[in-house]
Structure 1
Amino acid sequence: MAIDFTEYFEKYEAIVAEVDAVFTKFETEMGDLVKCGKGCSDCCHALFDITLAEAIYINHKFNENFSGLERSQVLERADKADRQIHKLKRKVYKATQEGRPANEILNEVARARVRCPMLGDDNLCAMYEFRPITCRLYGVPTSIGGEAHTCSLAGFKGGEKYPTVNMDIIIDRLINIGKDVQKGVDSRFKELGNMLLPLSMALVTEYDEHYLGVKGVEAPKPKKAAQTGTTFTGSKPTPQEIVAPGAAPKDDACSSCTEDKSSCSSCDIKTVVLGGE
């Protein structure tokens, strides 16, 4: 039986409307500094995670609007992006184990580039109308954890004071919707609402009773995703894998890891939330 997410989607869309209004205000009042335009895809290579509410919403819209060859091509790109992100997170974990400074590691992550699976060959977003909130605000000054960020291609200059969007407040509101989902479906996963994951993983996940941990529904044994008729071979995350925000899927990237098996559990737990500048 499909879960009805309508009330959560309405809450999410209300936040999207507010965010779009804020961006429009920047364009109206500081149009010479906002450089976003058709064909610019700088934000489409930034690394960031999305909340559960966004993931379910975007997944729903993807399933509604994509089929056939176009869908298969997106899933192939999502699989490729997942593998890149998974390897990067393992690299980050290894760096923390070596004692490298946190700022050095985070700066390295911020410089990493992974192509968004929704970015088409024409350099346009195939799902622009339903893009994540981070994408909607990428070209204007934002604050995350008290630190200011902005697109490197924008006209906003360092050292100057500008109106800034507090992303922490927006993320808290999105996480609260995720918590509402957790309570609404009566999930046995207490931290489900706090979950963060890459867009690429959100596209290939099936947000059903098993994944969301609905009480009374027996969880299936983990298994690899079925072939889709393309080269997509990534494994869908299962309920048992919801162990930490941003946890990467267990796929073939594990076989290329240089760590021994004893480090696997620590690697899965000590993941990081990726955030582009």
Structure 2
Amino acid sequence: MVDRCAIFRFNGRAMFTNLLQLYTFVDQTMDRLRERFPAEIACGRGCADCCAAVFDVSFIEALFLLAYFRQLPKPDRLEILDHAETALAAWRKLTAGAGDLSTARIRCPLLTAANVCAAYPARPVNCRTYGVPTVINGAAHVCGLSGFDKGQTYFTIQLAPLQQSLLDYSCKLAGAVEGGRRFPIAEVLLHPAPFAAILAK
């Protein structure tokens, strides 16, 4: 299988250098945690619990996902865009009301019928860290399918510094206003105008 992340790197996409380094750091941390907690971490091919979690992504992550998406075969892209329409409608309904984003479920448009991610190498930080205990803004989270026991103390990934780095990369690339925005994945795919000029460079 072609590693499209490598394609970006070697095609001189310097805009993604810091992001790829951050992803490498996160992946290496996750690898160490899998070695340390093999019974507790339930992540595996075909497990898609995280793919229905509701979250948005930073500008730089959105840009990278869109660049990856555009390299997929056209039939795959059309199918993903069809799913994105449904996902974006659900997102807008949820965010327009008083819904709880932390417990809501919306199927990611990048999730295929085989329960695998169509953009797995380009997945954002939230996807990469989902299977282990995390904390941000004082709120802890762990996948409900994992074997981590409530009341026990485990190594916890602090998401705030990672998100701050993503914000810094985004603002450096797109300016404070546009770079400070966050986007649901479905919106990135369906309405790519904010990213078009940068990807065209």
The TM-score bracket by the shorter chain reads 0.7 to 0.9
Partner of 1:129: 121
> CA separation in 1, counterparts of 2:198 and 2:32?
42
Partner of 2:132: 140
Partner of 1:89: 95
Query: 2:80 touches 2:110 (CA, 8 Å); kept in 1?
Result: yes
Partner of 1:192: 178
> CA separation in 2, counterparts of 1:5 and 1:138?
30
CA offset digits 1:140-197 (Å, max 9, x no partner): 01011022111001011111111111100000000000011124xxxxxx41121101
Gapped regions of structure 2 (runs ≥ 5): 1-10
Q: Where do 4+ consecutive residues of structure 1 move more than 6 Å?
A: none
> CA separation in 2, counterparts of 1:110 and 1:76?
25
CA offset digits 1:222-259 (Å, max 9, x no partner): xxxxxxxxxxxxxxxxxxxxxxxxxxxxxxxxxxxxxx
Q: Does 1:33 align with 2:21?
A: no
Partner of 1:72: 78
Measured at CA, do residues 5 and 81 of structure 1 come closer, stay the same or move farther in structure 2, by a change above 3 Å? farther
1:70 is displaced (CA, Å) by 1.5
1:68 is displaced (CA, Å) by 2.2
Q: Does 1:209 align with 2:197?
A: yes
Query: 2:55 touches 2:101 (CA, 8 Å); kept in 1?
Result: no
> CA separation in 2, counterparts of 1:210 and 1:175?
16
Would you say how many aligned residue pairs link Structure 1 and Structure 2?
A: 187
Q: Does 1:168 align with 2:156?
A: no
Greater RCO structure (CA 8 Å; 6+ sep) = 2
Amino acid at match of 1:35: A
Query: Which of 173, 180, 184 is equivalent to 1:181?
Result: 173
Amino acid at match of 2:184: P
Identify the range of structure 1 (48-57 vs 67-76) with the bigger mean alpha-carbon deviation: 67-76
Gapped regions of structure 1 (runs ≥ 5): 93-104, 184-189, 212-277
Amino acid at match of 1:193: G
Query: Which of 61, 65, 80 is equivalent to 1:54?
Result: 61
> CA separation in 2, counterparts of 1:127 and 1:15?
17
Measured at CA, do residues 126 and 210 of structure 1 come closer, stay the same or move farther in structure 2, by a change above 3 Å? closer
- Taking structure 2 as the reference length, the TM-score comes to 0.88
Query: 2:56 touches 2:182 (CA, 8 Å); kept in 1?
Result: yes
User: What is the SS of the residue equivalent to 1:111?
Assistant: coil
> CA separation in 2, counterparts of 1:136 and 1:143?
14
Amino acid at match of 1:44: C
> CA separation in 1, counterparts of 2:65 and 2:198?
19
Larger gyration radius, structure 1 or structure 2: 1
Partner of 1:112: 104
Partner of 2:141: 149
